[in-house]
Amino acid sequence: MMDYQKIVQLRNSGKTQAEIAEQLGISRRSVIRYLKQGKIPKYSRPNKSNRPDPMENFYQIASDKIESNPKILLTDLYDYLCGLGYTGSERTLRRKTRDQRRQLKAKEVYFQREVKPGEIMEGDFTELYLEIGGKRRKVYLWVTSLPYSNSYYATAYYNCTFECFADGSVKAFNEFGGIARKYRLDNMSPAVSKILSGRDRVVTQRYKDFQDHYGFMQDFCNPAKGNEKGNVESNIGHFKKRLLSQIALHQLTFTHIDALREYVWSFCKERNNTAQIKPRFEQEGLQSLPSQPFKPFRTTVVKISRYSLFNLDRTGHQYSVPSQYIGLSLEARVYYDRIEVVQADQVVARHKRLHGRSGRISIQLEHVIDGLIRKPGAMKDWKHRDVLFERPAWRRFYELQKRQGTSDKEYLSCLRLIKQHGRSLVTLAMELAAEGEVELSSTALENLITKRLDNIYDIKPIKTDLTVYDDLMGGKLHGSESTSQS
């Protein structure tokens, strides 16, 4: 447009066509064409090609094949037509048959369902990333919803195993105060081991035990049909969007996953108590819960090594047990948050369950201290000796002992007092001893604990007469009135 206007202006000023072309840096033919047409020329491709249509003799054949089998692969159809003499490209075949294939493609119809009170509950996992303990972690939320009232319960885990599914479901049942007649789930591996025709499934033994305990009917979705549990899917989308929005808005971080669980549940309670949901929830008529809750753990057999440790399955994580069980095979109960080692129905060791990268280790001081006292020389080069300095007060106490020439065995004897008195009292005794009140020995710590600290938990708080504060705030004190000037 600008070139055309300049051409007209220059022509009106008396410039020749050659001078206009030279000044504007365009060809003389373009100047002639602009001036001849009196407007900017329009360029367009011809609507019809002079080349013959390669599909002319094959369109009806392709159409019949697509009509008889709408799901036919275009690559196979292309090879078939080439065998009949087709010389065009596969792209041309796709373009020429696009409209027919679109018309034949079946559209899935969705039907709005009517849900009766207490008839069904739905559950599903969803994942998100949050900052927990100063690190960005992947977190899985288990959400259980009741479609009739649209109320739901959610909680968080570090993985999506059967233990997490069962624990989240049990907590949801307890919060709801009952269970629906059916539990609709997708075909997740903690519950389904094999998909059969229709809605028939081969379920895992752990899921069967869970189902038998609560007495609900199983109801699995068809593969890749998450819309069949649309209530929980919708609630998950809304819940995640609002949760992440609030976290970003207030720049929230969580010290541990339990803090996240409390925050998540506060969202659930706020929503479930709204005027739209609470009255319908009261009409659910859920089935009552069994007298004993289901214990959401799995069992496995572990072999105790000569290091008084065992490996948990294929996680690569190791846990300690008391040394008297070395060489034995024991039962380990795996919960979502802890590990319990059992012999003859007695728990002999309990650990917080490790998550994250493979190869982490959990050693409890009480499990190894006796063995170290028998072999004190092993303390110096022990791979996991950091266990012996669990708290800063312990390391300070040890360093003071070494300055006085005390042996490592004496320090280990001080730590053995933990088995009898617990960490808190022993740590407090170490701190007092380090201040110079007593000698730095196990005997001195024992006397300090038994004679001076054993009644520390029996001290009763002084009762305060709160009426004094009421009188003070009201302007009265000891029966006299005080006046104030402003």
Q: What does the pLDDT read at residue 208?
A: 93
Q: What are the phi and psi torsion angles at 331 (to 5°)?
A: -90, 130
- The Cα–Cα gap between 53 and 89 comes to 11
Q: Tens digit of pLDDT for each residue in 71-109?
A: 888 899 999 999 999 988 999 998 888 888 888 776 666
Answer whether residue 265 is part of any domain: yes
| Cβ atoms within 10 Å, residue 10 | 18
Q: How many domains does the chain have?
A: 5
Q: What are the phi and psi torsion angles at 286 (to 5°)?
A: -70, 155
Answer whether residue 44 is part of any domain: no
Do 355 and 222 sit in the same domain of this protein?
A: no
Do 249 and 275 sit in the same domain of this protein?
A: yes
What residues in the chain have per-residue pLDDT under 50? 459-460, 472, 476-486
Do 398 and 330 sit in the same domain of this protein?
A: no
Question: Any idea of the CA torsion for 305, 307, 312, 316, to the nearest 10 degrees?
Answer: -120
Do 314 and 266 sit in the same domain of this protein?
A: no
Do 244 and 391 sit in the same domain of this protein?
A: no
Do 351 and 387 sit in the same domain of this protein?
A: no
Do 351 and 404 sit in the same domain of this protein?
A: no
Q: Tens digit of pLDDT for each residue in 54-79?
A: 888 898 999 998 888 888 888 999 99
Answer whether residue 264 is part of any domain: yes
Domain that holds residue 307: 298-362
Answer whether residue 287 is part of any domain: no
Of 281, 311, 341, which residue is a domain's last? Answer: 281
Do 447 and 425 sit in the same domain of this protein?
A: yes
Do 353 and 378 sit in the same domain of this protein?
A: no
Do 382 and 444 sit in the same domain of this protein?
A: yes
Provide the strand spans (E) within 285-403: 298-303, 309-311, 318-320, 329-334, 338-343, 346-352, 361-362
Answer whether residue 482 is part of any domain: no
DSSP for 121-174, written as a single string: EEEEEEEEEEEETTEEEEEEEEEEEETTTTEEEEEEESS--HHHHHHHHHHHHH
Of 104, 128, 160, which residue is a domain's last? Answer: 104
The CATH code of the domain that includes 259 is 3.30.420.10
According to DSSP, the residues that pair with 87 across neighbouring strands are none
- The Cα–Cα gap between 439 and 420 comes to 20
Instruction: Identify the CA nearest to 238 among candidates 349, 356, 152.
Output: 152
Q: What does the pLDDT read at residue 219?
A: 87
- The Cα–Cα gap between 235 and 358 comes to 34
Q: What are the phi and psi torsion angles at 255 (to 5°)?
A: -70, -35
Radius of gyration of the chain from Cα atoms?
39
The DSSP element (H or E) to which 203 belongs, if any, is: strand 201-203
Do 16 and 94 sit in the same domain of this protein?
A: no
Do 377 and 316 sit in the same domain of this protein?
A: no
State pTM to two decimals.
0.64
